[in-house]
Structure 1
Amino acid sequence: MPIRQPDLVTPQHRELYFFALFRVLEAGILGIVAFTPLGQTMADIREPVLLKILTAGYFLGALFLLFTSREPDYGLRRQAAIGLLMDLLIWGAALLAMDGGESGLAMFMVFNIGAAALILTPAASFGFAATAGLILLGEYFFNRIMAHGEARTAAEATMFSVTYLGTALLCQQLRRQISASEALASRRGEELANLSELNELVIRRMRTGVLVVDGSHRIRLSNEAAWALLGSATHQSKDLLEISPDLQKALWDWRQGKFEAPKAMTFFEGGAEVLPRFVALSLTDKLFLIFLDDTRIYSGRAEELTLFTLGRLSASIAHEVRNPLAAISYSTQLLEESKDLKDTDRRLLEIIHSQCTRMNGIVQNILGLARQERSQTESLELVAFTQSFVRDYAESHPLETDVLNATDPGTRVFALVDSQQLHQVLTILVQNALTYGRKPGEPAKVTVSVRREPTNGNPIVEVIDRGPGIPTKVAEQIFTAFFTTSSHGTGLGLYIARQLCEANQSVLTYEPVPGTGSCFRIVMPSSQGLWEGLRPAIA
């Protein structure tokens, strides 16, 4: 029955196991000499009974040590020391029981001493080597005194003794080198494992999707971002063709050397546009790396870069554009006062004045974008503030037939907000409502209302119009910088309004009004200790 190699803890346990296995082989060879007629041809046995007893005991001891070598709890060096001591005692007694074959027995001890030296300490190794040498010298003198057969020479016994010491010394040096190599390998293994875990964590947390694909275009590894971009329904699929035929075709074309610019693709309805990039991980076309970049990240970075550039240019715009623009506008007003102007010239002056006003609004928006100062929050009573805002706006902006009013909920509503920034936000929202929130041929009707959130009591300010509303596709992008559907707009008004709200820990959202109309809602943090409910608002 074959002996199953156990699961060993360290390399030294493995060495001890094979050392014990070799000892069983030695006991078997000694058993052939002691119990079979073949042994008589190998050596003269002076004490056959003693040799048989020694052989039987040695075989049982070797089996016991082979069993215990599988158990790390029994002590590694203790087992090696007990086994080598048993070897020396048995082989020493066997030398006395036999006449001839001494050289073979002595050679066996060379291996045992060397194997034990790989496990034992230097002192123990040299001690056992010296003991083996003394056993040989003792056997030599015993045979000389007792005149048993032809005794070996003293030189032979001495050379074997020196060989034992040299073997112990050599194996000790080898043990040190092996231990150093094992320690280095262990450290390198730990570092490699840590780096592998770190790399896996970094790749898993990357916003860029990563796929590792083999030569047959089957997915071997992936990260969370990749599955999010590919769609949750594809988690169980490992074939790139099943996930996206377009991506599989793009990879195949890239492998064939068709170096076309990668095209953005969408993997499921409503998913983000993804830009794939391909990298070969080996020269044998075994593994390929696919990076899936979300185009929204590039768009966001481009937007940030654009806004940063605008911020740096805002000071130059103020001096280089705004001042000449004011001069043109003032000169136009002076020319309009002339009574000698023809109607066509007066019309041209009106166009110049309106365009100057539009350009001044663009400059104001850009400057407002660049001057996003830190908010100075205060406890503000919103009902009185909105009513005051409506009066001031109506006085500075002729409404003609348009209607702008503020509601009075009958309670005082306080909020923590910067009053100047809130005034700027309401100006943007009301101006947009009066401009775009009207039905064709009808005056605009805009209401600024104040109320509290029923669930948590947060103060809310709403600007509501009764216009045609905003299409769903357009509503998804109205807060994006530079997005506009008007040929006269800049696309910065609502973006600035949302930025100012976020600076005040407020949330600006668009809500469609049932029927027709639009509602822009500002939800602000409340000033719980300062508001009073169910009391008349101060106008």
Structure 2
Amino acid sequence: MNAPADPPAPAPPADLGWRVLALINLFRLLTPLLLALIFAALDPAPVGTTFPALFIGTTATYFAYAVVSIAGVKRRWPEISVQTIVSVCVDIVAIGILTYASGGMASGLAVLMVLPIGVASFIVRPQLALLLASLAAIALVAQQIFIALAARGEIGDLTSAGIAGALLLLVTLGVGRLAGNLRDNELRLRQREVDVADLAQLNQFIVQHLRESILVVDANDTIRLINESAAQLLHSGPVAPGTLLGEISPRLIYLLGIWRRHPHDWQLSSLSMPAHDGGNLLQPHFVSLDSSHGPTLIFLEDTTLMAERVQQSKLAALGRLSASIAHEIRNPVGAMSHAAQLLAETPGLSPQEQRFAEIIIRNGARVSTIIENVLQLSRRDSTRQQRLELNDWLRGFLVEFRDAAQLPEAALSLHAPGVLDVRIDPSHLHQLMWNLCENAIRHGRHDGCERNGDGNSAEVDDGNPAEDGGGRDGNDSEAAGQDAGTATVEIRSGRIAGTDRPFVEVLDRGKGIPAEDTERVFEPFFTSGKGGTGLGLFIARELAQCNRALLLYEPRPGGGSIFRLVFSDPQRWEIQ
């Protein structure tokens, strides 16, 4: 049975082999030039004196071949093994002839054989490398024999030729082992480069496709890294590294400046900002990557989903609370209000006693209103979402609102072009829009705030006219109609650029909300006005969230307020 053949030696990495071949071709270019210079400059010349014409011709031919080989190395054609074998054969013949023309081994030109043979040992298989070394040894011995026969050299130089041939064989064996080590090291290095590139690509992929939105800014507020999610939230499109943060999000750079001045202030964790498209509410978290105010890592948390989960837990607690309120508070308050009404109808009451009875009636109605508002929150889980055409619904709603509040047509203007399909509970939308419109009508003119008596806009109050009985006369429809003379409220609908999400806005020209209160307007029981409960806007946002919509506030350019209701993405409607 035949013995198994030895496995072929692994080929060197392509780039390394071609680089080595290019270096040996440089040797072929310089060698004939240097020999020609020595032959022409020195007298007597140490080379080429035995057969000058043969020496000059061989030098020129050798140089011409090196020039032609440049194109083959650059184009990498033919393949590297073929080029190596042909080139080393040319080296053997050319160096053998040059040695012969210079008088044999005594000229010392035989040493030029070492480099081409070493290169062959590095590039081709060991068997071919030994064959080429043997041919070189034979060429050295043959040229020395010819020199001896021509009586131009000594027979003893044959020993030198044989020793030189043996050294070439030893060089081939040694270089072959060294070449194997170099190949292994080069392959390991290339593999590590590939692993590092793959790891970098994997890291880039992970960063870009993280569900979390992250970006890194340097001390000059220049974006160094930003993933796709963060770019979509801040700019609704790609953001190139090197962009100034202030160009894409002035609000975020403002919050970053506050954090840098007060990095340990826990209250900063409650600051939020709207996304670029206005459809999400973001809460940034800052982490310093360098203690010396260097790069900062920013996490952008989309609070929409988190708010939905929190609200689910709120529903259970509010349900239990509302049941207790209904049984434990409503009945006593009703009895108290009824008794106060009977007391007010008693003849013979003094004006002061009549006033006390009216105070009891008014505040009893206010407590009843608070109970109703809380009960509305507890019924959030009964959401019945429907698909409706928003602009037609708004037209019908405005007719109903004007009639109920006895408002002229000019008090409310509607700009609702085109067709907008939304998915929402109509009763929730009705209550939400009613609250916003009444709020805007009551405080949509500059002197409306002064009539509250505290100098602040009552838009931060509650948005529910029935809750304002303590500061007014309790007749909210009539009060709204009185304000309607100069208050003009605009209602606009449309789609947000980039996300195509439908929205509706309620705009007024009142004093707006103080800057220090804008972060708190949707908090429950927060109000800067008198007589309100601070539940109107809180309830409005709760109703929006249970329909996967978002209610936002922003100051109106030129004065006033904008409350924007952004509906859920129409492309993500769930099948009911």
Verify: 1:493 aligned to 2:509, yes or no: no
- 2:522 maps to what in 1? 480
List per-residue Cα deviations over 1:178-200 (Å, max 9, x = no partner): 54145325414533663575588
1:194 counterpart letter in structure 2: Q
Identity of aligned residues (%): 19
Q: Which has the higher contact order (CA 8 A, sep 6+)?
A: 2
* Matching residue within 444, 451, 464 for 1:432: 464
* Matching residue within 32, 35, 52 for 1:48: 52
2:522 counterpart letter in structure 1: T
Quote the offset at 1:318 in angstroms. 2.9
List per-residue Cα deviations over 1:183-235 (Å, max 9, x = no partner): 325414533663575588689x996664324xxx796957676967535799x
Verify: 1:375 aligned to 2:375, yes or no: no
List per-residue Cα deviations over 1:7-41 (Å, max 9, x = no partner): xx94444333322222233224433565555565x
**Using a 3 Å threshold, how does the CA distance of structure 1 residues 389 and 16 change in structure 2: closer, same or farther?**
same
* Matching residue within 22, 34, 48 for 1:17: 22
- 1:96 maps to what in 2? 100
Question: Are the equivalent residues in 1 in contact too, given 2:222–2:245 (CA < 8 A)?
Answer: no
- 2:479 maps to what in 1? 444
* Matching residue within 191, 194, 214 for 2:201: 194
SS of corresponding position for 2:88: helix
- 1:360 maps to what in 2? 371
Query: Cα RMSD (Å) of the superposition?
Result: 6.4
Question: Are the equivalent residues in 2 in contact too, given 1:143–1:151 (CA < 8 A)?
Answer: no
List per-residue Cα deviations over 1:28-72 (Å, max 9, x = no partner): 4433565555565x5795433323322232233334435654554
Verify: 1:165 aligned to 2:176, yes or no: no
**Using a 3 Å threshold, how does the CA distance of structure 1 residues 501 and 351 change in structure 2: closer, same or farther?**
closer
CA distance in 1, matches of 2:95, 2:561: 104
Aligned counterparts, 1:33-432, within 5 A: 34-35=39-40, 37=42, 42=46, 45-66=49-70, 69-72=73-76, 76-101=80-105, 104-122=108-126, 124-139=128-143, 148-149=153-154, 150-153=156-159, 156-157=163-164, 159-174=166-181, 176-181=183-188, 183-188=190-195, 190-191=197-198, 194=201, 198=205, 210-213=216-219, 221=224, 230-231=246-247, 278-280=288-290, 288-291=294-297, 307=311, 310-329=314-333, 332=336, 353-354=364-365, 356-368=367-379, 370-371=380-381, 373-377=383-387, 418-422=425-429, 424-425=431-432, 428=435, 432=464
Question: Are the equivalent residues in 2 in contact too, given 1:262–1:277 (CA < 8 A)?
Answer: no
Question: Are the equivalent residues in 1 in contact too, given 2:492–2:506 (CA < 8 A)?
Answer: no
CA distance in 1, matches of 2:264, 2:550: 44
CA distance in 2, matches of 1:346, 1:218: 63
Quote the offset at 1:173 in angstroms. 1.0
CA distance in 2, matches of 1:382, 1:158: 101
Give the number of equivalent residue pairs.
458
Moved more, 19-28 or 184-193: 184-193
2:511 counterpart letter in structure 1: P
2:24 counterpart letter in structure 1: F
Quote the offset at 1:177 in angstroms. 2.1
List per-residue Cα deviations over 1:449-482 (Å, max 9, x = no partner): xxx99999xxx99999xxx984323799697353
Quote the offset at 1:143 in angstroms. 6.4
TM-score of the pair, normalised by structure 2 = 0.56
Moved more, 81-90 or 164-173: 164-173
Quote the offset at 1:87 in angstroms. 0.7
Question: Are the equivalent residues in 2 in contact too, given 1:114–1:171 (CA < 8 A)?
Answer: no
List per-residue Cα deviations over 1:357-402 (Å, max 9, x = no partner): 144134224314x426241447999699879989xx99xxxxxxx8
Question: Are the equivalent residues in 1 in contact too, given 2:551–2:566 (CA < 8 A)?
Answer: yes
CA distance in 2, matches of 1:212, 1:250: 14
> Unpaired runs of 5+ in structure 1?
1-8, 235-242, 395-401, 408-412, 526-539
SS of corresponding position for 2:59: helix
CA distance in 2, matches of 1:462, 1:98: 99
CA distance in 1, matches of 2:104, 2:124: 31
SS of corresponding position for 1:288: coil
CA distance in 2, matches of 1:521, 1:36: 93
**Using a 3 Å threshold, how does the CA distance of structure 1 residues 386 and 59 change in structure 2: closer, same or farther?**
closer
CA distance in 2, matches of 1:418, 1:233: 33
SS of corresponding position for 2:218: strand
Question: Are the equivalent residues in 1 in contact too, given 2:385–2:425 (CA < 8 A)?
Answer: yes
CA distance in 2, matches of 1:318, 1:445: 30
> Unpaired runs of 5+ in structure 2?
1-13, 235-241, 277-281, 411-418, 439-462, 485-490, 496-502, 569-576
Quote the offset at 1:89 in angstroms. 0.6
Question: Are the equivalent residues in 2 in contact too, given 1:434–1:444 (CA < 8 A)?
Answer: no
CA distance in 2, matches of 1:479, 1:263: 16
- 1:532 maps to what in 2? none
SS of corresponding position for 1:156: helix
CA distance in 1, matches of 2:59, 2:465: 108
**Using a 3 Å threshold, how does the CA distance of structure 1 residues 24 and 426 change in structure 2: closer, same or farther?**
closer
Quote the offset at 1:324 in angstroms. 2.1
